[in-house]
A and B are shown apart, each in its own frame.
Chain A
Amino acid sequence: MTAATVTRANPVARKRRRSRAGDSRAYTIFRVVALVVVVVGLAFPIVWMILASLKSNIDIYNAAKTFSFVPTFDNYVTVFGEQSFLPFFWNSFVVGAGSTGLALALGLPAAYAMSRFTMRRSASTVLLARIIPAISLIVPWYFIFANLGLVGGYGAMILAHMFTSVPLIVWILISFFDGLPVDLEEAAQVDGLTPIGAFFRISLPLSAPGIATAAILAFIFSWNNFLFSLILSGSQTKTLPVAIMNFIGYASIDWGGLMAASTAITVPIIVMAVFFQKYVVSGLTAGATKG
């Protein structure tokens, strides 16, 4: 990450890289074609989904109207009217924001301590949560939460989502704090701050980009989570990925409505990811290049 930033920020290095290559014309053409194939391959299905969400169910069944059709918002009317999806957006948001906030409160100091004191065993305990198949925990969770009367409420879902976000946040922030020089904290301590004071006054403000990265990724993972919410949500607290199953009937599927709902769920998170592209990429690749 650091190396990448340095290279990109340095125009001389960048120029040298480009001129050094001396690519053949054939390679340049191949590269352009290959990149176009990649872009179309990755983006087309999503474009197709959005197009389908704007078609009437009759047009969806008509192969001649794949690309040329009269757009309609009827499917969105179904999603937000008949199926009243707005509360599900709220549920997804509450669970996402709640679990991310609480997970940060737990994970941020933990990552700091684990980085500064190299607590390998504690770090691997937390990261074990990333490896364990969630399904092997969810039945007992369900039973415990049911006994506590938490199933169907936000509490159980927030706790379950935190189980993914705490390790994610710890993982991202450990590598962030590893890259944050200790000197500043030490200088602050010489000037009379306690170690905890130095953490709050010096390291915490400096780690804003790391916190943003961790929070954005944790929110995305929570928004997209299906299994936990499927089992722990009640009819009033369904999150979006669970609510989408409403469109699958026993006899038939309302394809237009289903595509509109899929688009409505996916687009906000895509916009957010593209907007915070830099953070999302550094979060997804955190720690992977350390070796």
Chain B
Amino acid sequence: MTQTNLRGSQFGSSLSIWANRHRKWIFAGPAVIFVAALIIIPLSYTIYLSFTDAANSLRAEINFIGFENYVAVLTDTTRFWPAVGRTVTFTVGVVAVELALGMGIALLLRRPFRGERIVRGIILLPLVATPIAVGMMWRLIFEPSIGFANQLLNWFGLPDNGWISDPNQALPTLMFVDIWQWTPMMVLILLAGLTSLPDEPDEAARVDGASAFQRFRYVTLPLLMPALIAAVVLRSIDAFKTFDILYATKGTGGGSLHEVETVNIYAYGENFLYSRYGLASAVLVVFFAMVLILVAIQLLRRKKDY
């Protein structure tokens, strides 16, 4: 009896020693394996499918067709390349406006004022509101006959606009929605960056007689660069993948003329509407490569700057 107990505790302590020695991987391993498994297995499967003619049912016979899907995708100037163009327009447009607005609002909020807590709370609203509900909300606001947007125009004596339902205006309108939703994210990051800056350089510049603009341009902005780059990288990655508001307002296909069809929406339709898995997989591999290139460029630029 004592013997077993002794052996049990010996085993326990050697297990404890082993666990403590290898705690690095015991702690980090499960999360890394979980994420890696959920990326590597599906991604290899997507790459495999992209070289086949898989369609209609994944249980149907699948034939290997080499680079045919890639040729089809990369020469497709009616759906694929316009979708790429819209994705890039959307991303560059919204991130630029969000950065400018976000910077302005962050500077407004920089110094304390009465009611600060309430204002900061309101800034969170668009960020945490469910994107699909936000999409529905703007869909009604921009409804040509009953929405508030045209009502507002009419108050100023301006004629109605088609907004989301007008193929020429849909993309800019939805960019506006994205800007409404995500500018607060820029504000939060830039504000966190601003509050962590030391006061001294700004103070010194003031003593030397620098104007407010000069102090911002030559003192604050360079110091803020790390936060600013982080905010831009984060937002561009997310903007590139925008799905919810586009789907909520225009559905699969991105409208009758595909006017808001981004790569994300296009790939979704090919997969789940037309079940062209092989072709869709090729689109996704190309899309994935684009995101990686985007990230690589931004990381490289970041390295160069420091």
Contact = CB atoms under 8 A, between A and B. Distances in A.
Interface of A: 1-4, 7, 14, 17-18, 20-21, 31, 34-35, 38-39, 41-43, 45-46, 48-49, 52, 60-61, 63, 66, 106-107, 109-110, 112-114, 117, 119, 122, 125-126, 128-141, 143-144, 159, 162-163, 166-167, 170, 194-196, 199, 220, 223-224, 226-227, 231, 240-241, 244, 247, 255, 258-259, 261-263, 265-266, 269-270, 272-274, 277, 280-281, 284-285, 287-291
A200 to B, nearest CB: 11
A52 B275 CA distance: 38
B92 interface: no
B35 A285 contact: no
Contacts of B281: 139
Interface in B79-130: 104-105, 108-109, 111-113, 117, 119-130
A14 to B, nearest CB: 6
A136 B45 CA distance: 10
Contacts of A110: 27-32
A291 B184 CA distance: 20
16 contacts: A4-B196, A38-B123, A42-B123, A45-B180, A106-B31, A109-B26, A110-B32, A129-B35, A143-B58, A196-B16, A196-B19, A247-B136, A262-B137, A284-B127, A288-B189, A288-B227
A3 B86 CA distance: 41
Top-3 shortest CB links A-B:
A291-B226, A140-B42, A110-B31
Interface residues on B, range: 35 or more
Contacts of B203: 20
Contacts of A281: 120, 124, 188, 192
Contacts of B154: 63
A289 B180 contact: no
A281 B285 CA distance: 34
Which of A1, A35, A167, A290 gathers most chain B CB within 10 Å? A35
For the residues of B in contact with A, the DSSP-based class is helix
Nearest to A217: B128
A119 B267 contact: no
B122 A61 contact: no
Interface of B: 16, 19-20, 23-32, 34-36, 38-39, 41-43, 45-46, 49, 58, 104-105, 108-109, 111-113, 117, 119-134, 136-138, 140-141, 143, 145-146, 148, 151, 154, 180, 184-185, 188-189, 191-193, 195-196, 199, 203, 226-227, 230-231, 234, 237, 240-241, 243-244, 247, 264, 267-268, 271-272, 277, 280-281, 284-285, 287-288, 291-292, 295
A52 B292 CA distance: 42
Contacts of A46: 125-126, 129, 137
Given A66-B148, A130-B237, A166 B35 contact: yes
Contacts of A126: 31-32, 35
Contacts of A166: 31, 34-35
B41 A140 contact: yes
B102 to A, nearest CB: 11
Given A122-B32, A224-B130, A133 B264 contact: yes
B264 A139 contact: no
Given A4-B192, A226-B131, A42 B125 contact: yes
Given A194-B20, A266-B130, A35 B195 contact: no
A24 to B, nearest CB: 10
A10 B173 CA distance: 44
A131 B41 contact: no
Contacts of B234: 288
B132 A288 contact: no
A3 B35 contact: no
A273 B35 CA distance: 27
Contacts of A265: 130, 132-133
Contacts of A162: 34
B288 A132 contact: yes
A284 B191 CA distance: 12
A6 to B, nearest CB: 10
Contacts of B124: 273-274, 277, 280-281
Contacts of A132: 39, 43, 288, 291
Contacts of A128: 35, 39
Contacts of A63: 146, 151, 154
B39, B105, B132: which has the most chain A beta carbons within 10 Å?
A: B132
B192 A289 contact: yes
Given A35-B108, A60-B146, A113-B28, A289 B227 contact: yes
B43 A137 contact: yes
B23 A241 contact: no
